[in-house]
Structure 1
């Protein structure tokens, strides 16, 4: 799976949020780090059209996001930082099943997908429970289960661990690592970022570093430490 950015930029009301960026994302595990307001979330939101490129282009396996948005959204799942933004049905099982509406599946196929996703997320046995009675970590796992039920080829996660305690954060890390899909994660959690094969650092709306997690994270920490003492 290849996500391609070709001189893609985002400008809002005359302010450039993301300067032109060209990237080829092919690795199975990619992390994106950077300070608040750096443009990293804007970058990944272009992958499935949540944010439109003002100029340039973004494509997923050669399919342009802007012109074929529905097709791209069929292969790209997006996990938000706040799972409450993705949970809408009155029971855990119904929430996952709802994500499969329009997928052309039989009732039995939907049930199989729901069961498999619940097991993956560690939520087996909670099918009839109200999602709003789940812990924060369980809610995030439910949101992830609803995404994986659709069998996307790419999962984009925007700060998926920011609202989680240590136990649930580690559980999420382990689950993301076990997935067969390409996973692209924006995070301030540098341990989560280090799980990747490739790390990209964004600063002031530009890609300022790109390479191995060890190299990019070390340089980022050094810059942040220097900024805090200057």
Structure 2
């Protein structure tokens, strides 16, 4: 049984600006969506969960792992995909990109490359192994980042605006891949339609949880608030 995510009294500031004051949450559902306007703290939350940012106070644990202090264990526990895959891809060649995380987990280079090849084969992309990453399309680079994360077999995967800059066919393909994942998912999005079928929705505003519950409870309130804001801006 999953221990889930425990956020205990977290305080976080970025560039001297407060993001969270005393945030506490317990997350255990398989599919969790996070909505809110720009600057609400959505991306900061995702980075906290992945252990990429350390809070000034409080603690974040995922499946019992302190993801900031125990980075080796975090590799087995959490994975993250950023909005722009170019901010995530490090190596010029596809198989090197996938093998890198496995080497970070302690696998010898030859074994890491063999595992990376197996991942490519499972996704029907064996022919990508020696391709240069920059020759892939935006959607293909995003799939590459997902395969690199899946190679490490984390229990949770966090997505930060994965549908941004994608056309509709690619958006639908990415959405289907996320739906098929065995891992627990936390997904940040501006588009409430993308998380309408999720188990739980968090609505953030200015670092506070405005609403937390089922999609049919939270999303209509969120849409109504955004529509009212749009009317005010149009005046």
Same fold (TM over 0.5): yes
Matched with 1:78 is 80
Aligned counterparts of 1:199 and 1:40: Cα–Cα separation in 2:
12
Residue number among 47, 50, 54 corresponding to 1:48 in the alignment: 50
How far off is 1:163 after superposition? 2.0
Aligned counterparts of 1:188 and 1:113: Cα–Cα separation in 2:
35
Whether contact under 8 Å (1:49, 1:66) holds in the other structure is yes
Aligned counterparts of 2:69 and 2:113: Cα–Cα separation in 1:
33
Whether contact under 8 Å (1:121, 1:142) holds in the other structure is no
Matched with 2:98 is 96
Residue number among 130, 137, 140 corresponding to 1:138 in the alignment: 140
Structure number having the greater helix percentage: 2
Whether contact under 8 Å (1:18, 1:42) holds in the other structure is no
Residue number among 186, 196, 199 corresponding to 2:198 in the alignment: 196
Specify whether residues 55 and 196 from structure 1 end up closer, same or farther in structure 2 by C-alpha distance, changes over 3 A only: same
Residue number among 147, 150, 162 corresponding to 1:148 in the alignment: 150
Q: Which blocks of at least 5 consecutive residues in structure 1 are unaligned?
A: none
How far off is 1:119 after superposition? 4.2
Q: TM-score, normalised by structure 1?
A: 0.91
Aligned counterparts of 1:88 and 1:182: Cα–Cα separation in 2:
25
Specify whether residues 104 and 198 from structure 1 end up closer, same or farther in structure 2 by C-alpha distance, changes over 3 A only: same
Matched with 1:181 is 183
How far off is 1:131 after superposition? 1.1
Alpha-carbon displacement from aligned partner over 1:166-211 (angstroms, at most 9, x marks no partner): 1111111111111111111111122222232111000011011111
Q: TM-score, normalised by structure 2?
A: 0.89
How far off is 1:141 after superposition? 0.4
Alpha-carbon displacement from aligned partner over 1:138-178 (angstroms, at most 9, x marks no partner): 00000110010011111111111112111111111111111
Q: Which blocks of at least 5 consecutive residues in structure 2 are unaligned?
A: none
Confirm whether residue 158 of structure 1 aligns to residue 165 of structure 2.
no
In the comparison of the two structures, how many residue pairs are matched? 230
Confirm whether residue 35 of structure 1 aligns to residue 34 of structure 2.
no
